[in-house]
Each structure stands twice: as C-alpha cells, then as structure tokens.
Structure 1
Amino acid sequence: MPRDEAGMLMNSGGAVNVRRAGLEEGRARDLLILTLAGLALFVWRLGSHDLWPPDEPRFALVAREMWQRADYAVLSLDDRLYTDKPPLFFWAINGFGRLLGGVDEWAARLPSAVAGLLALLLTYWLGASLYERRTGLYGALVFATSVQIVERARWASIDMTLSLFVLSAVVLLWRSWTAPERAPWVVRGAWILMGLATLAKGPVGLLLPLLAVLPAMLLERDLLAVRRVFLPSGIALYLAVTLAWFGIFAHRVGAAFAVQVLVHQNVERYVDAWNSRHPVWYYLWRFPAGFFPWSLAFPWGIAQGYAPEEAHHRRSVTFLVTWIVAILVFFSLSTGKRGVYIIPLYPAASILVGRLLAQAGAPGSTGGRAARRRLLPPLALWIASGAFLAIGLPFLARARFPSLAPVAAIVGLSLLGGGIASCVLVRRRGGAGAPACLAVSAGIALLVVVGAAVPRVNAYQNIKGFAEQVKARLDPGARFATTEQKRDAWVFYTGRFAEPLDTPERVLAYLALPGRRDLLIEEGKLREVRAALPAGVVEILRGRVGSQEYHLLERASAP
C-alpha cells in the first residue's frame, strides 16, 4: 500500500487510511490493558495461600491420584471410585502439574486463572462485535472486577473452566447467526466446545450454550438459524468428543453403572438435590451479591439496551437479556442452587453494563447525555455502598479479625473514592474518564483483598501449617484416620491415606482395633466420644484451625 511523504498509509485513491490503523491500535491497547488487568486480578499471588476446603483440596487430590495411578479415564479419591465430576478439569491440573513438577496450589488453580483470562478476552471480543470497541473494553473490565469472577478465577474449581467453554460455544453460535455464510464450520466448532464443556461438568455444558442462544433466535422467528445450530455433523463431533472419554469409562465400570452415574449426578441432582437446596428466589439476591459492585448498575444497563437511541442494536440486547433470563430460570427451577452455577451469564450482564459505561463516558456520542442521566442513580448507589463498606466492614472485622479492620476500610474507601471521582467527571467533563474510575476503584479494592486480606485469613485458617505438624508426628507404620471435616485437606498435605470415620461409633470401633493407629479429630467429635475412649489412647498433638480445635490421638498398643 503506498504512503505519503509523512509515511502515512494511503488507499489506492490516495486518501489517508488512518481510521483502520487507529482502530487496530485501539484494539491492541485494549488487549494489553485487559491482559495486564487479568494477570493482576487472576494470577498475582495465586499460589500464596493453602488449598481451602471443601473443593480445592478434594479436586487437587483427585488430580494427584490420577497422576499417581496413571489412570486418566476412571477417577478416584482416597483410592475409592470418584464419580462426582468428569475428568477434563483434572486433566488440566495434571497438565500444569507436569510443567511445575507436581500438583500444588499453583497447579490446582492455574486452570481457573487461565480460563478466567481467556473468558475476559472473549467477553471483550463479543462486546465489540455486538456494539463497538469501547463497549467490549468496559464490558470486559466489568467482568474482570466482579466479586464472583475474581473469586472463581483464583479458586481450584471447575466453574471457570466450564464458563470458558460455554462462552466460547456461545460466541460461535452467535457468529453462525450473524454470518450465515460461515455457519457450518462455526457451528461445528461450537459443538466441539460444547463437548469439552460436557467433559468439564457434564451435560450442563451442552444445555447452557443452547439456552443462551436459541431463545433470541426464536424471538426473532429465525427458524433457519435454529436449524443451522443442529447441524448433524456438529452433533456427531459432540458425540465423538464426549464418548471418547465416556465410552472408555463405561467399558471400565460397566455400561449400566455408567448410565446410573450420569442420571444420578445430573437428572437426580437437578430434580432432588442432596445438598445446597435453596428456594426458587435464591438468585434474586445471590446474583447481585456475586456481580457486586456492578450489580448496582445492572438495571440501568438493561434500560440502556432498550433506550430509543439503541434501537439499531435491538437484536444485541435481546440476545444478551434472553441469555441471562434463560440461565437464571433454568437454575432457579433446580432444587440445588449455588452462586457459581450462574457464572455463565456474567459475560452477558457485563456487556450490558459495559454498554451503559461506554455511552456515558463518551461526551460526543449519540445518546451520551441520556446515558449519563442513567448512570447517576448507579453512581449514587456506588457512593452509598462505598461509604457503608468503609464504615461497616472495619466494624465487622474488629469483632472477629481485628487485623483485617484497616484492610476493610481501604476496600470501602477505594469504592467510595471511585464513585465520587466518577460523579465529578460526569458533571464536569461530560463523563469522560468516569467508567475508568469505577473500574480502577473496583480493581484496587479486589487487589487489596487478594494482597492483604487473603494472607491474614490464610494464617487464621492454618490448614497447611497444622497439617505439617500432624505429618511430623504420624507414625509411618501406623494406620491413619480422620473424621469428615477437612479430611481432603489433611490427606493432601500429609500425603497419607486416611480412613474416613464419620460417626462416633466408627471412631470408637477404629480405636478399639488391635495395632498402632492415629486419629485426627475435631473438638466437637472428640467431646462425643471422650468418655468411651479405649484404654491406651493418648493425645500427641493439639492445634487450632480457623475457629475449630483439632486433636491428634494415638493408640500405641492394644487395650
């Protein structure tokens, strides 16, 4: 392409082609900002604290046993068959473990952190595709600075990995709708990603992308787009991906048992959950809590999407809103509910809020004045929340964690300062810089939690520290057992197989058997059996883990 005397790019007609160059430069800058933000929020100090029960040590144990047994199809926990989850997340932990020399805190959490970073970049791409670049940027920053996202991107659990594959499939299915000429290959890619999502957490990995996309297509009465989604070759690829593991699993454990596990862990868990049971309105408070602080602006983000000046983006907002509603309804009807289940709707919610921020922060944009008026109520709520947290959090912290009081004050003051600065910018500079102030203040608050609060809580929990003391006192030739609470953490950090003792009767029966044996038991369970302990049982270690006291008992000889 020719250049003028100043070296500027020219098109074939000689006009200066600066718009495209500026757009590419802006995208590169956005990606750099988002990558640095993601690394700071998701990766910084990732392995600096212990694996916290219940999920983290259990998942790390499953991955470590997979490595030790060299069995990547049939999972185990404490040398017992483990059927709660499919294997993909544990494969990922093992992959990072190979790179790092073993399964530790870093290896266990890196799959979630990497998934969070990739989901952040995908949210940017989707927001830019639905609207424009600034909406993608602010939507991605909203996603990255939501409480639930930062927590799960730094947690050794499957939720962020599942969300990445769900989001990737949603992006491709949306692309098949907006670019039908590329639909066959794009849809095939989506079905492969849905297969990987299924290998991460079961058939929900298939249902969630379809729930996110199909309602909008049906509302638009685009039945041709719906038919394109169910491409036979795409479905075949999904079956190939999922059966590559499930077929081996079924062959190893028996087809009837494999189907029973599939039904039990998915259908029965949905219609009659055995834990985390909550009422149908659970997510009416749980979503705002997890999406904080941006839940303060979420209603006005929806209002922005349906504003008259956004009429040319009506399909985009319909897609985002139906995505959110479909997933909320699906999980609200489930008997078992947890806040992490609805993480796959966070990208859609983030883009809606990002659109409000982008319009309010652009003084010369069409509809910018109306968007700034819509931003004022969220700013008032933001300032009020910051003030409440700046006063209330230190007060609550002093009651139980006095050392956290200054940290709590900084968190509240950061949000308060960001809200006030943004309000001033909206009033005096037409909103320019206001969205960035909000995002920076939320990011600072979260980094303060990661850098200052988490280490203090970890010291209070004292899981690894006490486990190392227990390990040093265990008799290598003696049997070892623990009661249920934190069992997986004790097994992971002591490196010893532990027999599970979940009732007082089993505790007493274990201690009454002949031979040397050790038992790690919490104070509450020990009180239940202390009067009936067999002769020869002595306490060799006592320590505090969080608010609970633990005792290591030894039975050195037969009674």
Structure 2
Amino acid sequence: MTALIAAGAANMTQTPANKRWWQTRDGRALLWLLALTTLVVGAGIGLRDPWPADEPRFTLVARTMVETGDYLFPQRGSQLYSDKPPVFMWLQALFYQISGSWRLAFMLPSLLSALATVGLCFDLARRFYGVRVAKVAGLALLFTVHFTYMMKRAQIDPVVIALITASAYCFLREAMDPRARRFWFLGFFFAGVGVITKGVGVLGLLMPLSVWLAAKLSLPGHRYLAPDAQRAARAHAGIRWPLGMLVLLAAIGIWVVPMLWTVWREHTPEQLAYARDILLGQTAERYAKPKHHFQPPWYFVGVMLSMWLPLMLVLPWVVGAWRKARHVRRVKVLAPLLFALLVVLFFSLSPAKRDMYILPALPMLVLAFAPVLAVAERRVGYQRLLLGFVGLLALGSLLIGLAAYFGEPKLERSLIEARGPHASFVYLWILLIVLGTSMLGMLFGLRTLRVPYRAYAALTAFWLGISVVAMPVLDGSSSARELMEEVASKLGPDDQLATVAFKEQDLLQADRSIVDFGYKTPKDVQLARAIAWLKGAPKQRYVLANKQFVDHCVSATNLRHSTVANRRQMWLFGLDAIRDECVSAETPP
C-alpha cells in the first residue's frame, strides 16, 4: 500500500519528445477507458425516445427553445419553466442543431458528461498513484451501478456531476502546484457554470475547504501536494479568493445577466415571476423548505450501500488499511474523502432527498479508495464478493427470464396493466435468459482473465443488453409513442387536440400541435377551460386527459377512445361526452 502511494509521482509519465500523448502508456490507457465508457454509456442512443419522469420535460423545453428561438426563458407547454436553469437544455438544443435528431440529441450531454467524469477521475488517480491505480479507479467509477444507470439517463444530474468533478479536479490540480493559478480560476468557472445548470453545481467550491482541512489533519511533511505549495499559496492568499469569486459570478452571468436585462426591459408579469422563482424559490427555499421527496437523515447511507455497488464491496479492506496505514493522513487521500463526506452531509441536512443528489461525491470517493481498491482486487476475499455480486445479478436475470417465458403469467400481466395492452414482452424474457447465461459464462468460464475483468465484462454485457434490447422493447409504452399513435388513429387530419393535466411525453410524441391550459394551473380550472375550448368547434376538437382528473365531468359511455398507457387510464373525448352540469358551468378566467 505504501509503495503505491510513494510511486505516484514517479509514475507520472512525461510524454517523450518523439511521441504523442496517445502513444504513451498513460495515453493508451485513457483512450481504452474512454472507448469502454462510450460503449457502455452510449449503447442504445438513438434507439429510444425520452422517458418519464424527467427526460421528456427537458427535451420538450429544448425543442421549444429551437422552435421559438427563446433561449433565455425555458418554456414547458404554454408556461415558463422556472424549476431549473437552462444550460442542460441549451446542450440538448445544440446537439439537435448538429445532429438533426432529438433521439440522438437528448442523450448526448449525458454521454459527454460520463466521458468527462471518468477521464478526470482517471487523470487525478494517475497523477497521485500511477497509471495502474488510475485504470482501477476509472473502471470502478464506470461500473458503479448508480453511476452507469444515471449516465444512461437524459437528466440534468450527469452534467452537474461532470461540472462539480471538473471544479474539484481544478482545485486539486492547483493544490498540487499552486503556481498553476489557472486551475484555481477554472475551478471557480466550472462551479459557476454548474450553478446555471443546477444550483448545487456550486458544490465544487467544497474542494478548497477539503484541501485546507486535509492539510490540518495530515502528517507533518505531507500537508501539501507539492513541496513549495505552502509558500506559493501564502503568496497569493490575499487576492485569489476575491478574484475567484469574480470568475464565479462572471460564469453565472453568462445566463443571469441577459435574462435579468430582458426582464427589466420587457417587464412582463410572466418574466418577473420566472426570475423571482428561479433565483429565490428554486434555490435556498427549495433546499430548506422542500415540498416533496422527504426522507430521513440516514437515507443516503442506504443509497451508498446498495446502489454504489460493486465499489462498496471494498469497504472491509478500506477500514482495515486505514486503521493500520499512515498513508491515510496525506492530502491526496484526505481531500477527496472529505469532499465526498461534505457533499453527502450537505444533502443529508435537507429534508428532501433523492438518490441521485449525492452522486457528485462518488468520483472523489473512488479517488480516495483507489489505492486500497488496487490492492484488494488481488485478494481472494474481495474477488469472491465481486463474483458473488455479479453472479447474483446474472442468476436473477436468468431465473426471472425463465419463469416469465415458461409460464409465469403474473410478470407479463403486471407489465401489460401498467404499460398498455399492445406491447409484447417476449423479447424481454429472451433477453434476460441470454443475459443471465452469458454473464454466468463470462464469470466462471473466462479463467484466463482476472476476476475483476470478468466481472466488468459481465456488467458490460448486462448494460449492452438492457440498452440495445430492453429499452427499445419498452420504449413504445414508456415514451407514450404508442398512446399518441392510438390517439392519432382516432382523429382526422384536421381535428384539433387539447390536453388536461398533460405529461410532457404526450406533447413530444403528438403528430400535431396540442393546446394545453398551463401545467401548473389547477386541474379543475384546466378542465373548465378545456370544456370552453371544446364549445368553440364541437365537431373538430377533442381532449386527451387522465381519467382520474376528468371522470366527474366526462361520461365513459361517450368516449372517443380509452386506453392504458404508462400507468395512466387515458380518455379521449369530445363535447358530447361532457356531462350537462359541467357544460353549463361558468368558465374560470
């Protein structure tokens, strides 16, 4: 263990004058890791549409940006969308302009975020411990189940994770050599861009605090990552924080300044409400007084022990190594570890918790665990745990597939009840059988490979199967494509369609423009406005709505169409299905 720590600086490969960086051992290792990341995370891109809960919302906002040309004020349907800043939607719109396909564009920011996060983690581990440990760290991060799953989703969190990791990376690089002051300011810049992606992007600024605490707790002689760091840091201590904060504000101002200028110039009530909510209601107020996702303070402990596998299998060796080895009291170990703990603590203090909130802590935790993990991978005990975890995943897939394919009707019936009657799941059962069999074959048949590589090969097969087969099979029901195709078949080419209590995927998949009555408008007000809209052209206008919001006003006997889609009973109806007492009711403003 101590040898790994001491070898870090010596193993930092300098590119020879007659070689390009990609021709070196370090460069080849990085390219191989990035290629594997592209395969695992990028598989399936272009084979499915956005899925709830969040993907359709962001894609709809990005599509509206492209259609309207308004990139300062994100819009969901007919109302402004003030829940999140626009950077993620900007990226989706940019990739659409490049690719011309929303099926490609909506996932590409997540893929690039995965590549950036894995690459930055690899580079820090390489500089700290050498290329062998760096490969171990990169693979551990890539195949942590929570990380892989999130990076294959088109949500804001992958981009935020990449930006927070980039900010932390820059601060650690500056701590390694404070004379490289550009990294100090880049750290603030990435934190600022993180803020206008999602408010918690500012958490990258926890790394300077972590480095300072690590220096206080470290052994004498190991308080900085470079011998002259203390002298260089003191030389610029008085001015670098104020200048860094100016860089942070400049990065935030990329969007906030033109947005506020437009609000001041045009002064519309909608824009004023948007600016007030996005700058106040969706930041500190949402953290301190959330409205949903309530969980106990210890919630994230369960998330890490369950979703951060197989990384967390190394914990017994981490505890054992850290109890005996003095290497722990070094900044290169303590700073990433303290950063991860501070991120988890920050989110634990809020009443609202979701599993993906703490993912920005994962890359730094992998970096802190990396030298122990490199040693544990050669221990029989850890190898058995790793084989057991992946083996259980493979065996579970095989048994579920066999049970469903050979006659367990409850599995398919439950899927049909939730997703609709038109989907066929036989390919899903065949996939699970093939996946389980092939994964077990890789784990116990590829004896020439080391156990970790067998496990990662099996996990690669698992994610490829899920991405290339399972997601396309489930896409029609999950994305609402089948629902909107059914709706289109019940309407004429000139018929008009409106929606009550809409879901973003409905608008995305529609074959025509859909009238909505405001996402945040109360459901009863939306229905009353929809009825008034139907009166304007009773023979050409129809409404699509979730049964639970309209059944008190709509007669089931006069429906144009009724179907189940993505756990919703959807009704398509015209004015003739509205009960008399609702037709005559006064329309709210």
Per the shorter chain, which TM-score range? 0.7 to 0.9
1:321 aligns with 2:320: no
Letter in 1 for 2:206: L
Q: Distance in 1 between matches of 2:328 and 2:526?
A: 67
Match among 274, 295, 302 for residue 278 of structure 1: 295
Q: How far off its partner does 1:239 sit?
A: 0.9
Q: Distance in 2 between matches of 1:518 and 1:62?
A: 24
1:185 aligns with 2:182: yes
Q: Distance in 2 between matches of 1:467 and 1:407?
A: 27
1:466 aligns with 2:466: no
Quote the RMSD (CA, aligned, Å).
3.5
Letter in 1 for 2:79: R
Q: How far off its partner does 1:546 sit?
A: 3.3
Match among 246, 252, 259 for residue 249 of structure 1: 259
Letter in 2 for 1:121: G
Aligned residue runs from structure 1 range 111-126, under 5 A: 111-126=109-124
Q: Distance in 2 between matches of 1:80 and 1:509?
A: 15
- 2:429 aligned residue: 405
Aligned residue runs from structure 1 range 200-279, under 5 A: 200-202=197-199, 204-206=200-202, 208-221=203-216, 227=237, 231-254=241-264, 258-279=275-296
Q: Distance in 2 between matches of 1:300 and 1:389?
A: 28
| SS at structure 2 position matched to 1:233 | helix
Q: Distance in 2 between matches of 1:79 and 1:512?
A: 17
1:34 aligns with 2:45: no
Q: How far off its partner does 1:62 sit?
A: 0.9
Contact 1:276–1:336, Cα closer than 8 Å, also in 2: yes
Match among 489, 494, 497 for residue 514 of structure 2: 497
Q: Distance in 2 between matches of 1:149 and 1:442?
A: 13
Letter in 2 for 1:550: M
1:156 aligns with 2:154: yes
Letter in 1 for 2:210: P
1:519 aligns with 2:543: yes
- Structure with more contact order per residue of length (Cα contacts < 8 Å, sep ≥ 6): 2
Cα distance change on mapping 1:277 and 1:321 into 2, 3 Å: same
| SS at structure 1 position matched to 2:154 | coil
- 2:12 aligned residue: none
The C-alpha deviation readout for 1:445-478, integer Å capped at 9, x for no partner, is: 2212112221222244361132134245456766
| SS at structure 2 position matched to 1:239 | helix
Cα distance change on mapping 1:405 and 1:230 into 2, 3 Å: farther
Q: Distance in 2 between matches of 1:310 and 1:49?
A: 50
Q: Distance in 1 between matches of 2:130 and 2:350?
A: 36
| SS at structure 2 position matched to 1:93 | helix
Q: Which runs of structure 1 show a deviation greater than 4 angstroms over 4 or more consecutive aligned residues?
A: 20-24, 222-230, 254-257, 307-310, 371-390, 392-398, 409-422, 472-479, 556-559
More moved, 301-310 vs 111-120? 301-310
Cα distance change on mapping 1:212 and 1:528 into 2, 3 Å: farther
Match among 299, 319, 338 for residue 303 of structure 1: 319
Q: How far off its partner does 1:412 sit?
A: 4.7
| SS at structure 2 position matched to 1:180 | coil
Q: Distance in 2 between matches of 1:439 and 1:91?
A: 34
- 1:168 aligned residue: 166
Cα distance change on mapping 1:60 and 1:412 into 2, 3 Å: same
| SS at structure 1 position matched to 2:83 | coil
Q: Distance in 2 between matches of 1:122 and 1:74?
A: 32
Q: How far off its partner does 1:99 sit?
A: 0.9
| SS at structure 2 position matched to 1:544 | strand
| SS at structure 2 position matched to 1:454 | helix
Cα distance change on mapping 1:101 and 1:452 into 2, 3 Å: closer
- 2:360 aligned residue: 344
Q: Distance in 1 between matches of 2:575 and 2:26?
A: 66
Q: How far off its partner does 1:504 sit?
A: 4.9
Q: How far off its partner does 1:395 sit?
A: 5.1
Contact 1:139–1:352, Cα closer than 8 Å, also in 2: no
1:436 aligns with 2:436: no
Q: Distance in 2 between matches of 1:284 and 1:171?
A: 25
The C-alpha deviation readout for 1:40-72, integer Å capped at 9, x for no partner, is: 112222121121122111111111111122122
Q: Distance in 2 between matches of 1:385 and 1:477?
A: 51
Letter in 2 for 1:466: L
Cα distance change on mapping 1:393 and 1:291 into 2, 3 Å: farther
Cα distance change on mapping 1:515 and 1:323 into 2, 3 Å: same
The C-alpha deviation readout for 1:208-237, integer Å capped at 9, x for no partner, is: 212245234213226965948953222211
- 1:365 aligned residue: none
Letter in 1 for 2:76: L
Contact 1:115–1:164, Cα closer than 8 Å, also in 2: yes
Contact 2:507–2:514, Cα closer than 8 Å, also in 1: yes
- 1:507 aligned residue: 527
Q: Distance in 2 between matches of 1:453 and 1:381?
A: 22
Cα distance change on mapping 1:391 and 1:355 into 2, 3 Å: farther
- 2:55 aligned residue: 56
| SS at structure 2 position matched to 1:220 | helix
| SS at structure 2 position matched to 1:237 | helix
Q: Distance in 2 between matches of 1:164 and 1:121?
A: 10
Q: Distance in 2 between matches of 1:389 and 1:301?
A: 29
More moved, 133-142 vs 352-361? 352-361
Q: What percentage of residue pairs aligned between the two structures are identical?
A: 21
The C-alpha deviation readout for 1:384-406, integer Å capped at 9, x for no partner, is: 56545544676589532463334
Q: Distance in 2 between matches of 1:301 and 1:259?
A: 50
Cα distance change on mapping 1:66 and 1:22 into 2, 3 Å: closer
| SS at structure 2 position matched to 1:551 | strand
- 1:10 aligned residue: none
The C-alpha deviation readout for 1:305-350, integer Å capped at 9, x for no partner, is: 6264672784332223212211111111112211111121121233
Contact 2:497–2:515, Cα closer than 8 Å, also in 1: yes
Letter in 1 for 2:573: L
Q: Distance in 2 between matches of 1:301 and 1:262?
A: 45
- 1:4 aligned residue: none
The normalised TM-score by structure 2 is 0.78
1:482 aligns with 2:499: yes
